[in-house]
Structure 1
Amino acid sequence: MPSFNKAIKRTTLIELLIIILCFYSVYMVASFYGFNVDMEWMYVAIIAYILIKSRKYSAETNQNIFSKIEFRYVFLIVIVNVFFSYGMLYLANSINIESFLSFNLIPSLKNLAFIGGLIGTVLISPISEEIIFRGIILNRLKLVVPVNVAILISSLCFGVLHGYGSIVSAFVFGLCMCILYIKTDNILVPVAAHIMNNFFAETLFYLDKDAILFSNDLIMITITVLAIISLYLILNSLKIEWKFLDKK
């Protein structure tokens, strides 16, 4: 979907802000008259805008989204980030469980029905967040600051908006997604990785009905060790990729 990539690169922060303000205006008016409008539809509106805008740009020859990078590399990035995120959740949970459970600035798509929430978390959220943070914010920042600074700023924004229990892990995940995007110049690569990440996270969440992941000492120790190993692998990979970014 090359035209989709073109549309994202040509979307400005002003356009994004207008979409958000328009949606919030509709939300406030609807709330005033007693109508309930889910905030999650803002994500849908952003995706729809990019899809409509992409129709203005001619499509090029289709190619496999993993033609510039191996799928197993992307898969490994996802797996180590999942383990690392659980390690950070354990840490946040041990520090302040109330804040960990309540603070999250990004709209939660779990307010919808189960199927709708699953679709929102696994599809809509990854697509919209990659469009916003990697597709628009990162590309716009690259025009005014060095690429590595742009990556740090966009990833920090991504992390902060994910709330107390996920700031660090989301920031690290954002760094990885930025690098995937820059290396491939195809937003669909980080989108695919983000979808896999959320799918694994949601699968673990729904399978863990008895909260064993947060109550069984052996499992928690095992995942903590895997989280530490994952952090080492992530930092080592980021160190290598940062040298690549310096040449951009």
Structure 2
Amino acid sequence: MTGRFPNSIPQILILLLSSVILSLPIVFIFEFYRPNVSQDLKNTGIFLFWCLSILFVAWIVNKKYKVDVKPNIGINHLPSIILPILTVIFFKLGFETPITSYLKMPAEIKMMSIEITIGALLLAPICEELIFREIILKGLLTRYSPKVSVFLSALLFSLLHFNQSQIIGAIFFGLFGGWIFYKTNSLGLVILLHFLSNLTSITIRLLLVKNFQNYSDVITDPIVIGVIISSVLMLTVCIGLILKEAQALKLIIAKPMK
């Protein structure tokens, strides 16, 4: 093997399959030895162990072939990250919220447990960005073009979140976060964006549960309508500025991705 692991679809499938196999013991323990544990805690524990399994396999293989996989978590020139942050937030407010509210009525949205909240705000941003950007995307970039690499990593990221309340945001963030990572090589930046994305979703969820009972209430509320329209306009402006000033997003690259 040459280059980073994984750097192709077959290698990614091998990595994912091996991580599933390594995760089977923790699934067995939760199902047969800790059956009274809450389902949210089970899901969070299994997710964490699965992520650690992926990171462990990737680290072992790359170490064997003497490939440096030390992530770059630094974020320089903090003013330059404002546009990506605003883009993520305005997308949540202007597009994802109206659509997911239609797919899942506010009255059906339940309050998130502490386990799921911790997973969404802490585990998911760190673990998922390590896996899908630092390991998978960076590996793909050594073999494929940036467009193909970002698309493939975003596709895999979306498949992990394949449910009606997450898929739209996952597709957007998979593409946008992948592009930002390619431009900046900053794991710290995409972790921050992922955290803010999930925090915005949780905040919106709380507001919906507290103030609305069905979708008709949401789409007829003048404040909600104003927020949606303003967010769509601001999102358009932010994306335009980012595309215009793409070179400004190269915050911390010291050497090409390998």
Pick from 221, 228, 235: which aligns with 2:232? 228
**Structure 2 residue 127 is the aligned partner of structure 1 residue 123:** no
Q: Following the alignment from structure 2 to structure 1, what is the Cα–Cα distance between the partners of residues 131 and 243?
A: 25
Q: Secondary structure at the match of 1:144?
A: coil
Q: Secondary structure at the match of 1:164?
A: coil
Give the 5 Å matches for 1:56-67: 64-67=74-77
Shift of 1:181: 1.1
Q: Secondary structure at the match of 2:166?
A: helix
Shift of 1:159: 2.8
Do the aligned partners of 1:92 and 1:164 also contact (CA within 8 Å) in 2?
A: yes
Do the aligned partners of 1:81 and 1:230 also contact (CA within 8 Å) in 2?
A: no
Give the 5 Å matches for 1:40-59: 40-45=44-49, 46-47=51-52, 50=55, 53=59
Give the match for residue 148 of structure 2: 149
TM-score calculated relative to the size of structure 1? 0.68
Identify the range of structure 1 (32-41 vs 174-183) with the bigger mean alpha-carbon deviation.
Answer: 32-41
Q: Following the alignment from structure 2 to structure 1, what is the Cα–Cα distance between the partners of residues 42 and 146?
A: 35
Percent of residue pairs bearing the same amino acid type: 21
Give the match for residue 254 of structure 2: none
Q: Following the alignment from structure 1 to structure 2, what is the Cα–Cα distance between the partners of residues 38 and 211?
A: 30
**Structure 2 residue 136 is the aligned partner of structure 1 residue 137:** yes
- Cα 1:228/1:68, change in 2 over 3 Å: closer
- Cα 1:230/1:73, change in 2 over 3 Å: closer
Give the match for residue 85 of structure 2: 75
Do the aligned partners of 1:159 and 1:170 also contact (CA within 8 Å) in 2?
A: yes
Shift of 1:235: 4.8
TM-score calculated relative to the size of structure 2? 0.66
**Could you list the runs of 5+ residues in structure 2 that have no partner in the other structure?**
7-11, 251-256
Give the 5 Å matches for 1:1-248: 10=4, 12=6, 13=12, 14-28=14-28, 30-32=30-32, 35=35, 38-45=42-49, 46-47=51-52, 50=55, 53=59, 64-67=74-77, 70-84=80-94, 87-94=95-102, 96-97=103-104, 110=112, 113-114=113-114, 116-162=115-161, 163-212=163-212, 215-216=217-218, 217-233=221-237, 235-236=239-240, 239-240=243-244, 241=246
1:90 maps to a residue whose letter is: P
CA offsets 1:162-201 (integer angstroms, 9 cap, x no match): 2223323321222221122112212111001111222232
Kindly report the root-mean-square deviation, in angstroms, between the aligned alpha carbons of the 2 structures.
4.0
1:66 maps to a residue whose letter is: N
CA offsets 1:109-140 (integer angstroms, 9 cap, x no match): x4xx42x3322211111111212221222123
Q: Following the alignment from structure 1 to structure 2, what is the Cα–Cα distance between the partners of residues 132 and 197?
A: 18
1:137 maps to a residue whose letter is: I
**Could you list the runs of 5+ residues in structure 1 that have no partner in the other structure?**
1-8, 103-109
Larger radius of gyration: 2
Q: Following the alignment from structure 2 to structure 1, what is the Cα–Cα distance between the partners of residues 238 and 20?
A: 33
Q: Following the alignment from structure 1 to structure 2, what is the Cα–Cα distance between the partners of residues 186 and 228?
A: 27
Q: Following the alignment from structure 1 to structure 2, what is the Cα–Cα distance between the partners of residues 44 and 148?
A: 29
Q: Secondary structure at the match of 1:153?
A: helix
Shift of 1:32: 4.7
- Deviating beyond 6 angstroms after TM superposition, the runs of 4 or more aligned structure 1 residues are 56-60
Higher relative contact order (CA 8 A, sep 6+): 2
